[in-house]
Amino acid sequence: MRGSGGTEGGLGMFTAGIGVFLAGLALYLFLDSVHASTMGAGVLSGAIGRRGGMWETTSMGILFVPFFLGVIALFYNSRMKWAWWLTYFGIGILVVEIFSRIRFRLEMKMTSLLLVIVLFSAGIGLILRSYRDKGTTKDSGGGDKPPKS
């Protein structure tokens, strides 16, 4: 059997392309249905706020202190390695805090979710099918015949 375009192996590339398209479309539809928002306190600001006292009034502002001090030190003398490390540490704290506050909510109809699952499964199935050995032949039952010895 000749592949798409009359070439050998063209069918495998064609089915892989359709598979990637279907899997990509399903992934897009799924991610398009997820709403991201921030809620509550993050990992670090939540830990600081649980201690009580004056820490509750500072909220998230205390998390900027290492970054702030690192930038001040870098403007004073950019050759100080500890200032670079303090700045990187401050950026790291802020990134962790931002990512720990993200909450995901999926809002999708059941029919859309089933469509996404079918599209993704079909896409992965077609991708895997395109990697099959091209040298096998089919009998009338649809199974692979063992190679002749």
Q: What is the pLDDT of residues 115-127, one digit of tens each?
A: 999 988 988 888 8
Q: Which residues contact 23 (CB under 8 A, 6 or more apart)?
A: 119, 120, 123, 124, 127
Distances from the Cα of 23 to the Cα of 14, 118, 131, 132, 136, angstroms: 14, 9, 16, 18, 26
Residue 143 lies in a domain: no
Q: Which domain holds residue 117?
A: 9-33+108-132
pLDDT value of residue 82: 94
Please tell me whether residues 78 and 124 are part of one structural domain.
no
Nearest to 17 by CA among 133, 148, 128, 127: 127
The reported pTM is 0.47
pLDDT value of residue 63: 80
pLDDT value of residue 100: 80
Residue 139 lies in a domain: no
pLDDT value of residue 136: 54
Residue 118 lies in a domain: yes
Which residues of the chain are under the pLDDT cut of 50? 53-58
Domain count for the chain: 2
Please tell me whether residues 44 and 98 are part of one structural domain.
yes
